[in-house]
Amino acid sequence: MQSKLPESADFLKEVQRNTCYQGRWPVSRFERLRDIICDHSGEVEVRLKFGVSAGTRCLDGQVVAELALRCERCLNPVNQHIDSGFRFGLVVDEDEASLLPKEFEPLVLTDGEQSLIELVEDELLLSLPIVAKHDRECSEILRQHQNDRNAQTDTYKPFAALKDLMN
């Protein structure tokens, strides 16, 4: 296992070598991700294993990160834990992709080296929630709305008039 993560690799050569990479990249290294997150500090832990499984060239990977996103309710940072695994079947064309077993997501390779950083960044972006928000009522307006709703249910009794009719 190699601890230094290269920025790019020739995937087909790495499959032949059964290469396994494990290491960390700073969050600030991911350009597209930087536009979405609030805090560019921290690291992304990456594990990549090239090999052959079920007769298919594959890349198994795992990315783990703690990212600060902007809460859509209160606009303050909210921490989001990302722990995503993926399994790519490495193919050279679309015809080969259609023959992959269902457990593999096809990844069509180009000649030469491909960016590992972009691959990991794609996986991080796909793992983000559609809407980032705190688990609790985080804005004053939402808290007040919830308090009003609770007060209304405590005092509003729609069937109170029926009680008088039964007497």
- CA-based angle 93:52:121, to the nearest 5? 65
| Residue 122 structure tokens | 């794609």
Q: Compute the distance between CA of residue 101 and CA of residue 58 in angstroms, rounded to an integer.
A: 11
Q: Give yes or no for a contact between 26 and 42, defined as CB atoms under 8 angstroms apart.
A: yes
Residue with tokens 């796909």, as numbered in its chain: 126
Q: Compute the distance between CA of residue 41 and CA of residue 65 in angstroms, rounded to an integer.
A: 11
**Using the 8-state DSSP alphabet, how is residue 136 labeled?**
S
The tens digit of pLDDT for each residue in 40-88 reads: 889 999 999 999 988 899 999 999 999 999 988 888 899 999 999 999 9
| Lowest mean pLDDT across 19-33, 34-48, 49-63, 127-141 | 127-141
Instruction: State the pLDDT at residue 163.
Output: 72
Confidence tier at 146 by pLDDT (50, 70, 90): low
Average model confidence (pLDDT) across the chain: 86
pTM for the full predicted model: 0.78
Confidence tier at 98 by pLDDT (50, 70, 90): confident
Instruction: State the pLDDT at residue 59.
Output: 96
Closest CA to 134 of 76, 82, 84, 65: 76
**Using the 8-state DSSP alphabet, how is residue 91 labeled?**
E
Q: Where are the domains of the chain?
A: 8-136
